[in-house]
Amino acid sequence: MPKIEKTNISLNDIYFLLKNPDEIKLNDSTKKKISQSYDRVQKMAENPKAVYGINTGFGPLCTTKISSEETKSLQRNLLLSHSVGVGNPINPELSKLMMLCKIQSLSQGYSGIRIEVLDRLIYFIQNDLTPIVPEKGSVGASGDLAPLAHLFLPLIGEGFFWDGNEKIKAMTVLKQHKLKPFTLHAKEGLALINGTQFILAHAIKAVSKLDYLMNLADLSAAMSLEGFQGSLAPFRKELHELRPYSGNKKVASRITNLLKNSQNSDSHKDCDRVQDPYSIRCTPQVHGASRNALSHLHELVNIEINSVTDNPIILDDNVAISGGNFHGQPLAMALDYLTIAASEIGNISDRRSYLLLEGLHGLPAMLSENPGLNSGFMITQYTTAALVSENKSLCFPSSADSIPTGMGQEDHVSMGSISGRKCLEVIANLEKILAIELLHSAQALEFRRPNKFSSPIEKTLSFIRKNVKKLNQDRVLNTDIDLMIDLIEKQVFNVYPEL
């Protein structure tokens, strides 16, 4: 068996390269492996023995032999025929992530593609030439065929690039940059469109967003606990050592540290309350479970970034294995899991937002200075309720479904592209839910003065008040909510990740 060598990069490396595209380079060792694999494919294309996708048709047409003279037309036709995506374009950042991940996969040296093709993709990224990719059309099994076909149409002078917020024909852009379209060689088109890079790009984006939002959710929960004057006992280390899930332990520790040296917490140590509602008391268990799910996807994403997911895979001069590395199930199931995890963070956040409105333990009803005449924050919780309900409807696992395609050749598919899109949709709703909880908790804290809070809480409250004033009488709250959402989307809150 041939020796398999891989050069791994991390999730952090992906984001570094996205921000510093001039650092994207193929070293000499990588170039040698790529060239060797390309030479192997050219020999296979000339061989009378049928090798899938190299000298045969694709999918259910795999038994149709293609002559060596027709292989270049075959690869061009592949990109054209598979560009069947529909719907709105994906975010340009996702397109760039797809290209980066595809470059990493192809540069492993098992795909039979020319260095020149990879150099062109690197040029695209470094010159901010981002292809337009429709969001829908992949079933996530024979690779993300349709979105990847759209992503790489510009290589052959077809398709579109982004030009600001508008689209521009790829051929026009290539001429502007004095670039000629490629004539694809044997297997190159197939190597480009076979793979999980659409699903992977969504997974990378989901992980990076939730890394921040999980920390923000802990901070938001700590502020709500402080505003509610809840007990810190459920966060004690000794309790969580008895059920030592890593996520639970981390959340309990973070909230303990976020509320350290709080005069407000000390002020009600001897109150007669026995226990708090679950949305306060069970924060470590709920947030912790979601953190555990995030940790799992972290692990899978790092594996997938460094995997070869096209087909067939060229192992040596004589072996091309037609396998299933393009199947998206490993990521699809985990993305469905993470969708539920993100949804649950929003679910418990809404319960805390509601709790602060009930007029309990010294807080006025609806957190209003003058309830009755003023509705205060009554209706903001309607918004969180709507978002939470929408998230629940998005939690049906896409990976539990499969519709046969390709005349039955592709008879089980992952639907992982839908898993990824839904996950990001739920996360976007979560950002809005947390924005509203932060508004509620900040208002609740105002009613606990003159008590002082812990340093992180005081700083967070001060930051919020620099952007959104305390609600003294009813006003249009949509403006406040949008300001908070914008701050969260830009990740400018200090969420104290070190705690």
pLDDT surpassing 60 at residue 146? yes
Q: CB of 53 within 8 A of CB of 311?
A: yes
pLDDT surpassing 80 at residue 3? no
| Phi–psi pair at 479, nearest 5 degrees | -65, -45
pLDDT of residue 477: 98
Two structure tokens written together for 284: 């470590």
Burial class (CB in 10 A: 0-12, 13-18, 19+), 148: buried
pLDDT surpassing 60 at residue 5? no
* Domain match, 111 and 218 both: no
Rounded (10°) angle between helices 329-355 and 197-228: 20
> Averaged over 362-387, what is the pLDDT?
96
pLDDT of residue 59: 60
Rounded (10°) angle between helices 92-106 and 11-19: 120
Q: CB of 52 within 8 A of CB of 65?
A: no
Give the Cα separation of 417 and 143 in Å (integer): 10
In a domain, 372, yes or no: yes
pLDDT tier at 68 (50, 70, 90 boundaries)? low
On average, the pLDDT of the chain sits at 94
pLDDT surpassing 80 at residue 389? yes
pLDDT of residue 1: 36
| 339-363 pLDDT tens trace | 999 999 999 999 999 999 999 999 9
Instruction: Give the distance between the most distant pair of CA atoms in the chain.
Output: 86
* Domain match, 206 and 168 both: no
* Domain match, 88 and 167 both: yes
Rounded (10°) angle between helices 197-228 and 246-258: 40
CATH of residue 141: 1.10.275.10
pLDDT of residue 300: 98
pLDDT tier at 61 (50, 70, 90 boundaries)? low
pLDDT surpassing 80 at residue 272? no
* Domain match, 168 and 220 both: no
- Cis before 131 (ω within 30): no
Q: Which residue type does 291 have?
A: R
Two structure tokens written together for 226: 């402080």
Q: Decide which of 195, 210, 241 is a domain's last residue.
A: 195
* Domain match, 157 and 232 both: no
Domain assignment of residue 475, given as a range: 201-489
Of residues 15, 38, 52, 337, which has the active-site annotation? Answer: 52
pLDDT above 90 as % of the chain: 87
In a domain, 334, yes or no: yes
* Least confident among 10-14, 55-59, 325-329, 455-459: 55-59
* Domain match, 191 and 206 both: no
* Domain match, 141 and 247 both: no
Instruction: Count up the domains in the chain and report the number.
Output: 2
CA angle 238, 244, 249 (to 5 degrees): 70
> Averaged over 5-32, what is the pLDDT?
91
Give the Cα separation of 376 and 439 in Å (integer): 11
> Averaged over 385-393, what is the pLDDT?
98
CATH of residue 245: 1.20.200.10
In a domain, 498, yes or no: no
Q: Which residue type does 74 have?
A: L
* Domain match, 207 and 126 both: no
Q: Decide which of 195, 226, 250 is a domain's last residue.
A: 195
| 206-247 pLDDT tens trace | 999 999 999 999 999 999 999 999 999 999 999 999 999 999
In a domain, 185, yes or no: yes
pLDDT of residue 309: 97
What does the CA dihedral 46, 49, 53, 59 come to, rounded to 10 degrees? 150
pLDDT of residue 496: 98
In a domain, 28, yes or no: yes
pLDDT of residue 297: 98
* Least confident among 58-72, 112-126, 127-141, 231-245: 58-72
CA angle 314, 318, 323 (to 5 degrees): 40
382 catalytically annotated:
no
* Domain match, 281 and 318 both: yes
Q: Among residues 153, 190, 191, 147, which one has the least CA distance to residue 418?
A: 147
In a domain, 6, yes or no: no
> Averaged over 195-202, what is the pLDDT?
98
**Cα 30 → chain centroid:** 28
**Cα 408 → chain centroid:** 31
Give the Cα separation of 22 and 246 in Å (integer): 38
Q: Among residues 340, 352, 344, 341, which one has the least CA distance to residue 381?
A: 352
Q: Among residues 266, 260, 255, 269, which one has the least CA distance to residue 224?
A: 255
pLDDT of residue 2: 43
* Domain match, 118 and 211 both: no
